[in-house]
Structures are given as structure tokens and as C-alpha cells.
Structure 1
Amino acid sequence: MKNFKYIILLILIVNLVASCNDFLDEEPSKSTATVPDKLEHLEALLNNYGEFYSEPASELIFSTDDYGFITDLYDASTSSYSLTSLQYGTWDKEYLPNTNRPYWPREWEKIFTANLVMQNLGSVAGEDTEKKQIKAEAHFIRAYSYFQLANIYCLPYTEGNKQELGLPIKETTSFEESMERVSLEDTWKFIESDLNKALELTRSFTQVNDLNRTWRASTAAVNGFAARYYLALNDYEKAQSYAQEALNEYDFLRDYNTDMSFSNAPTQVTIFNPEPTQVSIDFPYTHDSQEADLMLAWGESYYFRALSNGSWKYWPSEELLSLYNQTYDLRFKYHMVEGYSYEQANAVDPPYNYPGYVFFHRSDILSGPSVPEMLLILAECQVRTGAYTQGIQTINQLRASRMDASAPSEIINLSAASQAEALVKVLEERRREMPFVHRWYDIRRYNNNEDSSDDVVVTRTFYPYNGSSILGAETPVNFSLEKNSRRYANPLPDTDIIASDNVLKQNTY
């Protein structure tokens, strides 16, 4: 474990630069190892968006009812699903701790970087005003990563769960700092303390060379994260206030009627039906580039983060697909790619057509705070606090940019005759707008608020499995994640527990 930690330290130090060249005039370059003794060295660490933006969180991708485990798709091609994806998708606690650890270390590396920046601020040359901005930004990064980890590896924060296991508190780069997990209550207090320090940031939401500077923190980004944080705690007044603050600063929405299109290079696939037939698969234009420029140019984000699926397979569940107006909803038109199973599962002989969700390339979906998310938070909070008519009006601002302008007005605009009806419609819109990315967080909070009408029990019917394979020849079985399941805390990697000499404790089930 110590060797692993020193490797992380070496990587971070190697990424320091002798002089800071920001992305598009600010992008950091690599150099030989150096000790951070200038403010620009710390700036270079924070400008290294490649370290920060990716969130390869299988726990978020596969675990919710947005992701479809379809027996017919598996029957058509066993490459449709990996064993690991099914383990995440059925909330396994036996095999996953020994399988891999892709996401757990990623956020700890970001926390390490934030701590490295804060630890060295006092000893580097630079203006005090800029140091204060960087310090606030480092607190933001640390709060953001702790929020991610707490929502994936700990139980939901409730009065009854306060003394359950939280996370280790890491405030320095010392490898001797304890790995013991503090209580869930102390973990959330730590996140809120960092958030409050992050809110001292005064750097406005700005552009560099016609791109929003979303790879660095801004007042809008911090307010957006604060809205997300308080929504997770079901504090609707604070969540609404921070969402409005973010929108007051920046409220651009991409109009799918004019600013969205298909790729100029559709993919050609041969299927056998039974004779060979050429099929064209249309991808959104956002599929065409794996470079960050396209994601940064999207324009709706406050902070550049992306959920990343290395398998390139976001199979939408049949339940998720049913939520879209498949005639007029342009999100369905552009992001639900018909024939995706031909290409990504090789389900061509005989052909089996199942759509895949595609946003950027095949792997990434923007997950940082954004204008659409703030509108959805604002609308939900308005509805939950009684102003349901206003909440419907807010959600229709978003729909105006997502629905086909030729649709009847009653299709474009939602309406509701009661608070309960408005809540259903707003939560469905949230799911249509941000599939896969927020659903895990949402189910956790729905099941632990004062309103039982939005409770969710996730169920699946799929093939059983063992530690080495999916048992596709056996009869499908039912899997379910009950409302109060302890499996809402994902298991920690056993390798890290062993490396800590068992100071780091595993979740109990």
C-alpha cells in the first residue's frame, strides 16, 4: 500500500510544471519532478483537468433502474454484459470487494491533490488574494470528492444512520494519517465545512478563448455543488437558494432544435437477416471526438466532470425508455442510438436491435453541476415546498430546449393539477434529462425523505452468476434492492482494507 501511495505522489509531482501555461493559454505541460515553490506550480496541478474530470464509477452506472439488464440482449450476444457489470447491477457484496477498485482510488487521488495544494500554499511565492482563491478551490475539490465517496461507499445520511461508518478524514498528504473511518455524521460535517470554505471563492464564471472555464472552480460551480449537497440532505430551501444563485450567474441552455445534430459519419454495420444487409447507425455529433474540447464547448456545465464507462455500454432499461415521448423528445432522438447492439454487442447474426445511450463518444456523460441540473433542482424544490405551479413553469424552461419545436404545445409543456402530480412529472423529467448520472443519488434521497410517494425499490430479472461467469444456461432469477438495504453502501476494496492492517473497516451487511 505504501508503494502505491508513493507512486501516486510521484505521479502528482511529475505533473508539476516549472511554468504555468493554462489550458488554451492555461493548459499545464509535463516536466521533470520538481518541488512546488511557486504559486504557478499549484495552479498547474489545478489546471490538470485530465486528473479531475473523469468519474469511472461503475457503482453509479450499473446499479440503478436506469440501466437495463435484458436477458434477450444477453441471449443474442453474451458480450452485451460483463460479469463485473452484473455484479454491480445486482448489488453484489460477496465478489465485488475482490474484483477491482477503479473508482475508490480516483477520488482519493483528487483529495490528495487538494491537500497537496493547501499544504504548500503557505510556502510558495504569490499574491495573498490569489492564494485565498486557490485555497477555496482546493476545499471545493475535496468537498466534491468526499461527497462522491460518501454517497457511494456509505449509507444514506439520516438521523438513524449518523453513527454508521463514514470515511477516513484526510487533511494532509501524510501517509501516516489515520485510515480509520469516522462516523457518517462527522463525514458530512467535514464536507459541509469544506463547502462553506469553498463558498468564499469570488472567481466569477468566465471564458477563455470562447470556452467556459469549467475545468476550474467558479462561484457558479460552487453554488451548483451546494445546491446538489443540500438536495441530498432534503433541505429544499437551501438547495433552491443555491440553485437560483448559480442560475443568476449563468443560465445558458443548448437548444436541441438548432444546436444538436447527427454525426456526419454514421457507422456502417453488416447484419444477417438472414442475408447480409448493411445498416447505418446514426450517432449524435457529440460522439465524434474523444477530446475534452467538445465537452468543454457544450456550454451548459458549471464544472467539468464526466461519468465514464470504459465498456462503452449504457443500455437503457425498458422503464427508462418508456419515460420519453419517442416522437417529439429530442433527447431520445439524439442520445438513444438505435442499432447500438449491432455495433457494441455484435448482435448481428441473427440481428437483435437494442438502443444504447450515447452522449460524448461512447463513454462519457457530463456529471458536474450544470444549468439543466439547477433548473431541475429549482423545480423540484418549488414543488416540494408547495409552489407546484411555479415548479412546472421552471421545468418547462428546460423542456422548451429539449422538445421538438413542431410538437403540440401540450406535449412541449407539462401541466399538473396538484402538488403530487407535479412532483411525479418533475422527477420523471429529471430522470429523462440526467439518466445514469444522478439516479443512484436520487434513489437514496427519495427513500429517506418524509414523502413515501417517491420511494423506489429496484428490481431485476436476469441470469444468476458465480465468481467466474454469468450462468446464461440457467433460469433467470429475481434481484432486488430494498428501500432500507445496507447495500446502499457499496463494499470497499479488500486490497485497501488489508493494506491498512484492517484499520479501514469494511461495510457490514
Structure 2
Amino acid sequence: MKTKNILFALGVAGLMGSMQSCDSFLDTMPDKRTEINTPTKVRDILLSAYPTLHPTIMFEFMSDNYADNGDMYSSPMNLAIESYMWKDAVESDWDSPQEVWDANYRAIASANQALSAIEEMGTPAECLPYKGEALLCRAYGHFMLANTFCMAYNERTAANELGIPYITAPEESVGVVYERGTLEDTYRKINEDIEEALPLVAGITFNVPMYHFNEKAAYAFAARFNLFYGKDYDKVIAYATKAIGTDPTSVLRDLNGYDKFTTTKEWTYGYISADEPSNLLLITNRSLYGRVGNQRYGITNDIFRSQLAWSYFPGNKQLTVYNTVFHYNYMSYFIPKMTEIFEITNQIAQTGQPHVVIPAFTTDETLLCRAEAHVLKQEYEAAATDLSYWYMKKGISACSAQQIIDFYKATDSKGNPNANVKELHTGVTYTEEQTYLIHAVLHARRVEGLHEGIRWMDIKRYGISYQHNIYNGEPLTLLPDDPRKAIQIPQEVLFAPGDMTPNPR
């Protein structure tokens, strides 16, 4: 890789002072300032049914994308440090577990208010698409909470794993005690909401579709959920195809033109553009994620070259679309998907709130969900075809299933395995072909979902174990079934009336 193509990014601004956490869900009555009695009002309240915070900081720093470069370099916020060390978060501040919990349950509360209003109006036909959107928002909020605060879903263990409270109606009183139930319960209810919603959003239209659960985004969500659920891989394939088509080449992200961007902000605006066909659902988040770039805990050159965007793929090729990347003093590499967008709320004081835009669902990630489902169904050439769509869009050649298997199976001159081949611990016995093709999909997903939290969810799903190095200290190890893979329920929730069960430690 030619280093002359690397662009140097300016350092990030200092962190803002701490803020008070929003009122905690389970302690606060819902906002009923206006009666929701028309389809227009239902539509409007659904604008607040999308969570305003994604657990990206925690997910990224907990993953194997990051390493400790040493105490001679600047450190990020405490949450990033705690996440890197897999410690339970202490502060209830920006991007914290408490904020993620509150943001998702506030969104769920808005979805439930919309659903209740639709029912009270007699479920008029013109409200049916909004009912579908509300059901999807409710399912998505619970899905994100489960993937944050629970262990990964595994059919063999889910009936004995803790879930999260699944809220299906507006709160009518303060202090209601909610049971966590099992992870099996949680996923069953998510599935019910999704299945009810899909026919309702057929043909749904919005002024800016990418900021709502449009029909394609709905099927992309259904595909990812069913992949994680693991009960019906035919559904994954069918739903993904409804979202992206059989041959998605024309709607996959084309990064070839991104080399014209010379700043991180330009790159970000290109990536999150509503005109980008790869973006199926974009969600604006109030987050400091745009400020956590640092040199202490970062994506090192070695990780970037061996396992991420500069790593080798089948055919011993690098992805040419990533010739241009950004970095902090050559110590931490990144792709600027999440540059901060600052919203000024006080023009006189020039104060406001930082935001990033999360690409919640994209055609590329949906394609890789379908590829993985084909692998799990032992449809290896179909999986290779889907992987090849992604390879070709990223600048390398299509490959057969055997070529992909041979690449990940090969060792280097010293007998070391491919750095992207790590032991899988799911309780399932995979064929050799499946094993290496799963690694091929996870490798592509790791690159595609960089900075978006995708890797952490895949680590959990496949029981991947790895270490985080500690400068001048012993490395930390995360085990396959490590209970720390379920982020602890926020302290304010645990200490609230009702004694919610904490995650085991």
C-alpha cells in the first residue's frame, strides 16, 4: 500500500464537560403533551421512535479492532477506556449504558404511543403503514437493547439467558416493575413485531426514505434479525433479496469516487448522503463518537494491514477502494464515517450538541447477511457469488467457493494461520468448508462495518475469544462465553424500585 495516498487528519477536539443523564426509563411518565388523534400526528410522533444513541463507542472499543499504543499517547474518554478493558461503566454520561438504555426505551415509548393511538382511532387504512413503521421501531429498539445488555442469542441457551423488558404499551403509572424474562422471550417478541410489520410497510413512502423504516430497510432489518435468530436461514435470504435484489451490484457502495474527498467531513457527508443507494436507514445520534479518535487506544497499522481495510482477501489482493484512509500521527487508523456534525442550539453562545449519523442498515451489510445464511445452509457457491459481488465492488476479482476456502485455509511461510481465522464457539459443528467461508464473511463484515459496531456483535454471535494488550501490563482475555459480553444493566436501573436482575459477573 502506498503511504503517499494516506491523508493526515486533524486531531479531534477535547471532550465536552459531563452532562446530567436524561431521566431514566422505568422512572418517568411518558410525554403526553398532545393528544394523538390523527394520522398526521401519528406520523409526527414516529419521528421520535428511532433511538438517538447507538452503543458504537462501547462496541468498537470492546472489539478486537483496537490495541493499546502506550501511555505516551493521548487517552480518550473514560467510557472508551472502560470498554477497552471490558469493565462495567461507572459514569452515566454521553454514550454510556444508561444513555443507550434511555434512548432506546424512549424510542420504544413513542412507538407504543403511536400504536395505541392507531388502535384508539379504529386502525384506519391510512394508518396501517404507520403501524408497520411503529412495530419495526419497537422491534429495533428491543433488538439493540438485547444486543447490548444480553448475551448473543443461541437457540441452545436462550431459554436460560436473561432478556430485557419488552414493553408493548404506553406507561400509565410510575414505578411499574418490569421483568427481564428470558432471551428466548425477547427474540420471540421481536420476531412477532417484525412479521406483523412487514406486510404493512409494503409501498410505504416518505419524503426522505433513508431516515425511516422504508420497505427496503424493513427487509434489511428482518434479514439481520433472522440471521442472529438462527431459526430460518431461508428467511434471511428471502428478506435480504427483497431489500437489495438478486444482483445488488448497482446499489452497493462505490468508494472509488471517495478519493476526491480531502477532509474527514467531506468523506463523512459522502458516506451518509441520503442519495447514496447503499444507505437503507440512517439514524441521527446525539453522541461524542466523533471526538474519541485518539492515539492511546486505536486501530494500529498492524491490525489495519492484517485484519481490516488493508488486509489481503482471496486472490491475495487488497481492496483498492481503501487506498486512501486517515490516521492520527500514524498511530491510529480510521475511515471517517462518523465525523461530528455539531448542532448549534444557542446562536448567541454558540453552544449546542454533537451528533453523528449511524448507517443502521446498508445494502452491503445486508448482502453479507445473505452470504452468511447461504454458508450456514451449506450453499457454498451461492455464498461465493454474494461475496464476489462485494469483492468486485471493492476492487478485486470474483472467486469461487473453493478459492475462498483455500485462501483462508492457507498458512504463511512460518506456518501461522490467516490472522482472520479465529476459533468459533457456538455449540455447532461446522464442516471445514463452512468454517472457512464463515471466516470469509466475518472478514468482509469486519471491514464493511468498521466504526459501526458490527464486529462486536459478530464476536458475540460466534463466541470469539481474543486478548487486549495492556501497556506495561498483562494482557486481558475475553473468553468465548465471557459474561462481560453482555454489558451491565445501568446502575440507576438496578437500584430503582423493582430490583431488576443484573447481568452475571
TM-score normalised to the size of structure 2? Answer: 0.74
Taking structure 1 as reference, are residues 385 and 498 closer, same or farther at Cα in structure 2, changes over 3 Å only?
same
Q: Tell me, what secondary structure is at the counterpart of 1:138? A: helix
Q: Match of 2:67, as an amino acid? A: F
Q: Percent identity?
A: 20
Give distance in 1, aligned partners of 2:78 and 2:495: 24
The answer as to whether partners of 1:114 and 1:142 remain within 8 angstroms in 2 is: yes
**Given residue 79 of structure 2, which amino acid in structure 1 is its aligned partner?**
T
Match of 2:61 in 1: 62
**Residue number in structure 1 paired with 2:326:** 337
Alignment correspondent of 1:361 = 339
370, 384, 388: which is aligned to 2:380?
A: 388
Q: Deviations over 1:156-178 (max 9, x none)?
A: 22322413321112122214443
1:65-214 matches, within 5 Å, as 65-66=64-65, 68-72=66-70, 74-75=71-72, 77-79=73-75, 81-93=76-88, 95=90, 101-124=98-121, 128-158=124-154, 159-174=156-171, 175-176=173-174, 177-204=176-203, 208=207, 213-214=209-210
Distance 1:86 1:446 in 2: 24
Query: 1:37-93, CA deviations, whole angstroms, 9 ceiling, x for partnerless residues?
Result: 2221111122358x5464244332211112x13224x42x233x3332121122113
- What are the superposed Cα offsets for residues 356-388 of structure 1, whole Å, 9 maximum, x if unpaired? 331142574644222101211122222232222
Q: In the alignment, is residue 377 of structure 1 matched against residue 373 of structure 2?
A: no
For residues 324-355 of structure 1, the C-alpha deviation after alignment (integer angstroms, 9 at most, x for no partner) is 34795245334x313xx24xxxxxxxxx6432
What's the counterpart of residue 34 of structure 2?
34
Is the 8 Å Cα contact of residues 260 and 285 (structure 1) preserved in structure 2?
no
The aligned amino acid for 1:316 is I
Distance 1:111 1:388, change over 3 A: same
Between the aligned partners of 1:414 and 1:427, the Cα distance in structure 2 is 16
Q: CA RMSD in A?
A: 3.4
1:285, distance to aligned residue in structure 2 (A)? 2.6
Q: CA deviation at 1:313?
A: 2.0
Deviation at 1:402, TM superposition (A): 1.9
Aligned to 1:228: 224
Partner of 1:425: 440
Distance 1:36 1:250, change over 3 A: farther
5+ long unaligned stretches in structure 2: 1-20, 312-316, 341-354, 407-432
Secondary structure in 1 aligned to 2:181?
strand
Question: Contact 1:414 / 1:425 at 8 angstroms: preserved in 2?
Answer: no
Aligned equivalents of 2:398, 2:237: Cα separation in 1: 27
Corresponding residue pairs, total: 423
> Which of 160-169 and 356-365 deviates more?
356-365
For residue 255 of structure 1, what is the aligned residue in structure 2? 254
Q: Which amino acid aligns with 1:423?
A: I
Change (3 A) 1:124 1:2: farther
Matched, 1:458 2:456: no
Give how far 1:298 is off: 2.4
Give, as a single letter, the amino acid of the residue that structure 2 aligns with 1:115. N
Q: Which residue of the partner structure matches residue 441 of structure 1?
A: 457
Q: 1:419 to 1:189 in 2, by over 3 A?
A: closer
Among 268, 272, 278, the residue aligned to 1:287: 268
Q: Counterparts of 2:35 and 2:398 in 1: how far apart (Å)? A: 61
Q: 1:167 aligns to what SS in structure 2?
A: coil
SS of alignment partner, residue 217 of structure 1: coil
Q: CA distance change for structure 1 residues 120 and 415 in 2, over 3 Å: closer, same or farther?
A: same
Aligned runs of 1:490-501 on 2, under 5 Å? 490-499=487-496, 501=497
Cα distance in 2 for partners of 1:419, 1:186 equals: 29
Taking a change above 3 Å as real, the CA distance of residues 96 and 166 of structure 1, as seen in their structure-2 partners, is farther
Pick the aligned partner of 1:243 from 240, 245, 258. Answer: 240
In the alignment, residue 401 of structure 1 is paired with which amino acid?
K
Runs (5+) with no aligned partner, structure 1? 14-32, 267-282, 343-351, 448-455, 464-474
Look up the equivalent residue of 2:299 and give its one-letter code. Answer: P
Establish whether residue 322 from structure 1 lines up as the match of residue 306 from structure 2.
yes
Q: Read off the aligned partner of 2:47 and give its amino acid letter.
A: N
Deviation track 1:378-416 (CA, whole Å, cap 9, x = no partner) reads: 22222232222222221121222222xxx6788xx9744
TM-score for both structures, normalised by structure 1? 0.74
Q: Using the alignment, how far apart are the partners of 2:190 and 2:78 within structure 1?
A: 34
